[in-house]
């Protein structure tokens, strides 16, 4: 069994890039769009805090992603709307097999938007309440690194010198949004 293909996990903050990509792609924000973020946010019947306590402050979209802000990500998700958040999750390929040439691939677990509760928009964009495979996450981040184009993953490219797999390519985000995300993700480690 290949655990990268068959096993799922809750991705947590690594999933925040989907919401940010959606908000950028829909033209709702730019990397420099700024929000005043309290140190908590109410989502339906729940209160969500940051993973690390901080005072209320102004943050750009770039800072929201590079600082992994729960409050900022939820703010972007609410701006995007639950149907669009769900559409971007699907667009990145979560909730369905990647098509990798290995048996037993899990599709992951993504709740259909019709079954979302009032507080779901406060946890799914944070990578909670969804399950993904490592291969799905690698494909998503690979698309960002590849100028917005996702390659269908595969294990075997050639057998005896003969090509047995030519991966399908799918544009997920524009080259501009991919470049913006790459710059923001660099800040995760440089700052």
Q: Is 13 a catalytic residue?
A: yes
Q: Strand locations in 29-157, DSSP E?
A: 34-37, 40-43, 46-49, 57-60, 149-151
* Burial (Cβ within 10 Å: 0-12, 13-18, ≥19) of residue 165: middle
Which is the catalytic residue, given 13, 106, 117, 119?
13
> What residues form DSSP beta bridges with 48?
41
Secondary structure of 15-45 in HEC code, one letter for each residue: HHHHHHHHHHHCCCCCCCCEEEECCEEEECC
Cα gap 80→19, rounded to integer Å: 8
Between helix 16-25 and helix 82-91 the angle, nearest 10°, is: 110
Q: Is the dihedral of CA 178, 180, 183, 186 positive or negative?
A: negative
Cα gap 33→27, rounded to integer Å: 11
Instruction: Give the catalytic positions in this structure.
Output: 13
């Amino acid at each position: 069994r290949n655990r990268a293909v068959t096993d799922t996990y809750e991705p947590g903050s690594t999933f925040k890039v989907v919401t940010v990509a959606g908000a950028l792609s829909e033209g709702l924000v730019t990397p420099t769009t700024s929000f005043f973020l309290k140190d908590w946010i109410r989502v339906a019947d729940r209160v969500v805090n940051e993973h690390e306590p901080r005072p209320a402050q102004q943050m750009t979209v770039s800072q929201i992603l590079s600082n992994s802000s729960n409050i900022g990500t939820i703010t972007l998700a609410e701006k995007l709307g639950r149907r669009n958040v769900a559409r971007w999750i699907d667009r990145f390929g979560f909730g369905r097999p990647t098509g990798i040439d290995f048996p037993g691939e899990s599709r992951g677990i993504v709740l259909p938007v019709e079954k979302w509760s009032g507080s779901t928009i406060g946890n799914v964009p944070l990578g909670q309440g969804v399950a993904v495979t490592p291969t799905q996450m690698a494909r998503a981040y690979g698309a960002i690194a590849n100028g917005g184009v996702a390659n269908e993953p595969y294990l075997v490219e050639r057998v005896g010198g003969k090509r047995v797999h030519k991966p399908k390519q799918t544009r997920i985000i524009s080259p501009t949004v991919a470049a913006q995300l790459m710059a923001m993700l660099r800040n995760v480690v440089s700052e």
